[in-house]
Structure 1
Amino acid sequence: MSTMRAVQVVGYHQDLQMTEVPKPEPTGPFDVVVRIGGAGVCRTDLHILEGQWAEKSQVQLPYTIGHENAGWVEAVGSAVTHVAEGDKVIMHPLVTCGLCRACRSGDDVHCETSQFPGIDTHGGYAEYLRTTARSVVRIDDSLEPSDVAALADAGLTAYHAAAKAARRLTPRDRCVVIGAGGLGHIGIQVLKALSPAELIVVDRNPDALKLALTIGADHGVVAEGRQVEEVLDLTGGHGAEVVVDFVGENGSTAEGLAMTRQAGDYHVVGYGENIDVPTIDLISSEKNIIGNLVGSYNDLCDLMALAARGDVTLHTQKYALDDFQSAIDDLDAGRVRGRAILTPEGI
């Protein structure tokens, strides 16, 4: 039996460890084994190490993390027809059944029997990963797996929220994006590609706003205490028809709702705090508070079409698989611009 390198959680509140484990093989007819070209390092991975997901995922330790994965098809089961060995693919983060009501509706994110590699089963901080035919999306030859890996989750989450927001936006509307970091910088590009609305971006970091203005934002507002007033000034005192909050903590939810126009939509994407709003205010203003999870398989296909035509590009910082600890430390310390990517085959 051949083996591979894999980075595993061996205990909560402990460092990850590089181990040798059996290389996965296709066992079911729809299995696809992918040789990893890039695995995104996400803040959720830090939360996993802190034990925040232990109760929710019920995962057995040790296991391999990594839920933003792309690479090349290594082997396929007997029933797989739409991808072949050597194809470049990105993986939808969930392995889904295809048979439940949610899957049949194209809403595979809410599959009744899904698995989530990197969260509740083995993920992509490794040389190979087993997934299924339902989860792999072929990517354009012009794209490299290590450049697009983080679009599998961070990008897909941003796309899902931005596409939902764009469905109601017209040329007369304004859309506020709170947070222009790893998710926000993708959301801005998606909104620019899908929506004719005016884009206002709010962030604490002036450098993040500079980037936002080069990738499609019409206005940048530095969050240093007066951001609600500044957004109201930019929207004629009414607020924006849509606010997309990629932060979701440190007071952004109250500010986001204050920036939302009457009968407007407030989308929550980032998380960390509770939303506290009197029901009378919700009723009298008729605002909608909308939760956003990761996107569907179809959302990922749409996002990869935008990536292939250059409308969405990911800013990345790459690390060899052996340097996994540096990537984790840099992310934790806020030293990563864009998204950190592990590359098993070197950079």
Structure 2
Amino acid sequence: MAETMRAAVLTSYGGPLHLTRVPVPETPEAGALVRVAAAGVCRSDLHLRKGELRDLTPMRLPTILGHEITGVVEALGPAAQGPPAGTPVLVYAPVSCGRCRPCLNGTEQMCDSASRLGIGRQGGCAELVAVPRADRQLIALDGLSEVEAAPLGDAALTSYRGIRRVALHLKPDSALVVIGMGGLAQYAVQLARQCTTALVIVAMRHAARREARARELGADVVIDLTGADAGARLRSACPRGAADAVLDAVGLETTMRFGAEALAPGGHLVVVGSMLGRIPFGWNCAPLEATFSTSFWGSLNELHDVLALARRGRLRSDIVTYSLDDIEQAHADLAASRIPGRAVLLPGPGPSSSHRPAATRPERHHHSEGDKE
């Protein structure tokens, strides 16, 4: 094996990503070295490189971003237990201790001593990545495409956890609003079909351009957020005249405010989008007994659920691929909202290409943790 590898390295907050050669990482004792096949680009990467999340997730520079990773196991450490060398895998980016209260409660992503590949630890925007714990971080793809699977490890997983958090409160006559139609929202609409029997309403900007796609993925009603009557149209579409739950897959102040104003008393607003918006919360600025919350990533068990759905053809996304050489273009396109779904980097040089799997309207199907056929 070569002693160096290509990687996109961030050396300073707000600075460019440098395509350069760096030493190949050592294989961790209980972990693995994975040759990266695909690395998803997430909007949080844009915030991370600007230093906008340094208080929440401090990083030591220089670093390599990329936390949505698939690849092939290159080597296992001497104490590792996990898929053998040569196995195509998805890498679960959170690194957990397995001993603290969140870990024992099955929420490894909230580990008291957590670190995450691509967010504090060296990530997947490189030819190889070191994975500390093969037993807790590597999942065999079992036939899933490496490109399509990469965003499942964060984008789909985050949406799944958000949907599950509100699903317990929804009935067949409930209304669930998903704000957005980017990568997170595309997964959220499909997951709403799998996890609930509620009316699914999609609220997004410029709805006329993407209404057909939203309905393909499972939306019952589509509302244009740019319309002056958006609030009135939403209320008229909801059986109770207001939404029982809102999942905001954008996270701007304007979308969060729209979601809060759409809620019925006792409703739930869950923010999964990472645009760093803020709104007031308290008496006289929220419906009675409404709950506002964020939802962060997802557990390892939840990731297994997501992969099971994907293997059954029930999760799709509009994916655009870029070579590692074009990482700055991928970030620029994401920042300018030119990517219809998710962006995925490929480790080798070559032209970028769009990759959109055929989509069918998902059937209504209640999915639980035990449903893993």
Q: For residue 48 of structure 2, what is the aligned residue in structure 1?
A: 48
Q: Is the 8 A contact 2:8 2:20 kept in 1?
A: yes
Question: Against the structure 1 CA distance between its residues 286 and 54, is the aligned structure 2 distance closer, same or farther, given a 3 Å change threshold?
Answer: closer
Shift, 1:64, TM fit: 0.9
Check if 1:184 corresponds to 2:194.
no
Q: Secondary structure of 2:292's match?
A: strand
Alignment of 1:247-286 (within 5 A): 247-270=250-273, 271-280=275-284, 282=286, 285-286=288-289
Check if 1:331 corresponds to 2:334.
yes
Alignment of 1:1-347 (within 5 A): 2-28=3-29, 30-131=30-131, 132-133=133-134, 134-141=136-143, 143-206=144-207, 207-224=209-226, 225-236=228-239, 238-270=241-273, 271-280=275-284, 282=286, 285-345=288-348
Matches of 2:93 and 2:248, distance apart in 1: 22
Shift, 1:27, TM fit: 3.0
TM-score by length of 1: 0.94
More divergent stretch after superposition (2-11 vs 241-250): 241-250
Q: Secondary structure of 2:109's match?
A: helix
Aligned length: 344
Shift, 1:237, TM fit: 5.4
Q: Secondary structure of 2:156's match?
A: helix
More divergent stretch after superposition (9-18 vs 45-54): 45-54
Matches of 1:146 and 1:110, distance apart in 2: 27
Q: Is the 8 A contact 1:202 1:220 kept in 2?
A: yes
Aligned partner letter, 1:320: S
Q: Is the 8 A contact 2:173 2:239 kept in 1?
A: no
Q: Is the 8 A contact 1:25 1:75 kept in 2?
A: no
Q: Deviations over 1:261-291 (max 9, x none)?
A: 1212111222422221442565x72212222
Aligned partner letter, 2:139: V
Q: Is the 8 A contact 1:203 1:209 kept in 2?
A: no
**How large is the RMSD of aligned CA atoms in angstroms?**
1.8
Unaligned runs of 5+ in 1: none
Shift, 1:49, TM fit: 2.2
Q: Deviations over 1:147-191 (max 9, x none)?
A: 211121122111110122222222221111111112101100111
Matches of 1:261 and 1:298, distance apart in 2: 31
Question: Against the structure 1 CA distance between its residues 23 and 188, is the aligned structure 2 distance closer, same or farther, given a 3 Å change threshold?
Answer: same
Matches of 2:198 and 2:67, distance apart in 1: 32
TM-score by length of 2: 0.87
Aligned partner letter, 2:234: V
Q: Is the 8 A contact 2:13 2:51 kept in 1?
A: yes
Q: Is the 8 A contact 2:234 2:242 kept in 1?
A: yes
Aligned partner letter, 1:138: A
Shift, 1:58, TM fit: 3.4
Q: Is the 8 A contact 2:321 2:344 kept in 1?
A: yes
Identity of aligned residues (%): 33
More divergent stretch after superposition (40-49 vs 3-12): 40-49
